Structure 1
């Protein structure tokens, strides 16, 4: 049976399983009388209940004795004791997984008890935003002609889908939009604790809200590491990466990078890293800044070597990239022995057979002598061909072989060529 919990401070608990399915907010503690941890933690739950009550949060806290209610506990997938779960509108919402302290339990109950969308009026919007900045969370506010209109329903649909990722608020009067600086109505505004930027969107379709949030949930300038790398990959938006070795280098360029990131917000994500992706064995030359597109993982677009890294040059580089005027470097290739020089594969006796005699692709080879004037005239043409067919390199390879300082392998059909 469902017992009246020692923590209950609002309503008496009914003794039916249907209690879970009622349209109220409720934390539920699943326990076993024989569990020593349950007995040890009981005072924590009592103190948490007191804290919640003092903050005027009205929820029903209930407990389930799993030794007497095995069917209920099985339906709720209870595998350990004690387990604290939160239910809203008759549906499971979240499980408490943090360290069991009064502070954490109280925070969990209060956060899960919060209304999905907080309705604010007039200058309340300003105070709500100020309080949010203290709480260190992302805030999404919708400004509407009327609470409950079509645009509000679209916003509400998004909030239900994404749940706890944001704190949501909505205003249905012009006074609120004017109080925060004249937001266009209808519209949504995102506030984030990790940068000062305020992102706005006035096209409130399902698709546009999803796209807006996907783009702007990312910081304007972030430190790239192994933990957040997948997040950036999943966006499929190219990364503008600044490589640095000392923190002072990052601090020197931080302001410029942050400013430029605003110009390319929906096209480039700006990040900085000390070591990630900077593998000298994978690149042809040292790096300081460049663009990496997760959709083309074996290419890297390097900022011109020797060029000053300031706002004007960064913008110039970004525009050149989007005009497809920046020639990329090769990061890695299926054939490990493949070495690129200006996007032309440099052949040697070790990689010759593996590359030239590859039946899965066409290979165009320049056999040359370094001191030959005719060969030298062909070098820039070959570099152009290398760049021209760079994106088709899975089907065609532009290569060169120094036939003066190396012997053409006997396996080659052209082993009788002479270079003088």
Structure 2
């Protein structure tokens, strides 16, 4: 049977196909992705899903930017992650839209605006040389043009370590400003003997010269040096700067202060010498105690009493708060830091009280009993790490209770448990930390290693996972039905006599 579509539908389909074919955005898939991005000096790729609202909002801006940038020979492309699920997975795509800038196949995250003019401006800047030629008359202005400016003073633009310096510049063009000086008079005026690399900062010590032989400097070493210099001795941590500190890997030493306090600068200046002394071990920061009061609570700072001081070991999420019954002084902070660095300071663990009984189908874990129950090698243990405010956790709660009820009769072999993570700290012996909620982890009997559960949050999937990984027998003992109580014969006869109808 032949189906004839109405003219209006045909026109609409035709216009759709034409619009797609007329697009200046390249469609990439598994067949052409690598060959395309590896051959382009610069290309922006959007990984999207057709159902994603943010992707739909971005689409017209992305198309407009592609048309404008086409004139500048800068290409924009997109990958449909529903059609190309394996490709997107291999690229580590976890949300939509995700945008990445590729240079000859090497990717960095796009961190620019998502409007057409912003995309154009960002990509044009990306197309410019990562390293600027700095002349003598522009030298002073250039070294003050950004918070962190790295300048290589070389005999020529190709002298060692120009290639390594350029590679670092390409990777961090959004983080720092890079320049090269080959004018020997300019180098002499700056008091520099080539070859040398100097970083100029708008904070702390203004000028720092690369402390090792420059000829042997590698991209990685330069990156590490710049990362260390990018962190002030005592800077402010907030939503914009936290990632810089988190990426450094060093513990954070927080000074919580009220920014309206007249003595704020006095408090910071008192601690600054300690921060300078221990900069190689910890990152000292000050934080707005009024705005981030909840963060202070999360770090086990019990009272809203400022200033307050606490050390946080980021990797293990351990907290070492300063005694709030004592005044925060430079001497007190130094004593706390010295003990921490020496490894003699014990973390303060937050814990709810241990439940008086565990009669329910789900065992309640808290900071104080976590090791005892979770590390019991005679039992399989399945733990849900949750937060009371988490919507996903609330939806999982009745299913988790059902799982507990299913295995309630064999709690001596299999423990279904839950742990309120914001209200309890994991002991330092635990080899992992919880980054999101709910997180489900299973520890088989005879082991202390936890297995991540990443399946569907249905009762059937949870049961299948338990059956696959449990080491103990999951056989549920049969419950015998109670037999009815026997009535004594004399009573039975009496009852019959009393109730028998006479004819």
When normalised by structure 1's length, the TM-score is: 0.52
Q: CA deviation at 1:115?
A: 0.9
Match of 2:115 in 1: 100
Contact 2:45 2:78 in 1 (8 A): no
Structure showing greater Rg: 2
Question: Do the aligned partners of residues 276 and 29 (structure 1) sit closer, same or farther apart at CA in structure 2, a change above 3 Å counting?
Answer: closer
Q: Distance in 2 between matches of 1:65 and 1:157?
A: 26
Match of 2:264 in 1: 250
Q: Distance in 1 between matches of 2:107 and 2:246?
A: 31
Please list the CA deviations of residues 41-95 of structure 1 after superposition, one character each: whole Å capped at 9, or x if unmatched.
5995499569xx8xxxxx314578999xx99xx99999xx999976545766665
Count of residues in correspondence between the two structures: 309
Match of 1:126 in 2: 140
Question: Which of 184, 192, 198 is 1:189 aligned to?
Answer: 198
Question: Do the aligned partners of residues 129 and 212 (structure 1) sit closer, same or farther apart at CA in structure 2, a change above 3 Å counting?
Answer: same
Q: Does 1:278 align with 2:296?
A: yes
Question: Which of 186, 192, 201 is 1:176 aligned to?
Answer: 186
Question: Do the aligned partners of residues 142 and 41 (structure 1) sit closer, same or farther apart at CA in structure 2, a change above 3 Å counting?
Answer: same
Please list the CA deviations of residues 287-316 of structure 1 after superposition, one character each: whole Å capped at 9, or x if unmatched.
735451516724345699347x4xxx45x9
Q: Distance in 2 between matches of 1:62 and 1:244?
A: 48
Which ranges in structure 2 are unaligned for 5 or more consecutive residues?
1-17, 26-33, 49-54, 355-367, 376-427, 430-503
Q: CA deviation at 1:282?
A: 4.0
Q: What is the SS of the residue equivalent to 1:165?
A: coil
Equivalent residues in 2 for 1:212-361, closer than 5 Å: 212-225=225-238, 229=242, 231-245=244-258, 247-248=260-261, 249-257=263-271, 261-273=275-287, 274=289, 275=293, 278-279=296-297, 282=300, 288-290=307-309, 292=311, 294=313, 297-300=318-321, 305-306=326-327, 309=329, 313=330, 318=334, 321-322=337-338, 328=345, 330-332=347-349
CA-based RMSD: 5.7
Question: Which of 131, 144, 155 is 1:117 aligned to?
Answer: 131
Contact 2:152 2:180 in 1 (8 A): yes
Q: Does 1:211 align with 2:224?
A: yes
Q: Distance in 2 between matches of 1:121 and 1:173?
A: 7
Q: CA deviation at 1:112?
A: 1.0
Question: Do the aligned partners of residues 219 and 321 (structure 1) sit closer, same or farther apart at CA in structure 2, a change above 3 Å counting?
Answer: closer
Q: Distance in 2 between matches of 1:23 and 1:302?
A: 58
Q: Which moved more, 1:234-243 or 1:325-334?
A: 325-334
Q: CA deviation at 1:111?
A: 1.6
Contact 1:27 1:86 in 2 (8 A): yes
Contact 2:42 2:75 in 1 (8 A): no
Q: What is the SS of the residue equivalent to 1:170?
A: strand
Question: Do the aligned partners of residues 222 and 303 (structure 1) sit closer, same or farther apart at CA in structure 2, a change above 3 Å counting?
Answer: farther
Match of 1:202 in 2: 211
Contact 1:116 1:168 in 2 (8 A): yes
Q: Distance in 2 between matches of 1:96 and 1:320?
A: 39
Q: Distance in 1 between matches of 2:115 and 2:151?
A: 32
Contact 1:3 1:65 in 2 (8 A): no
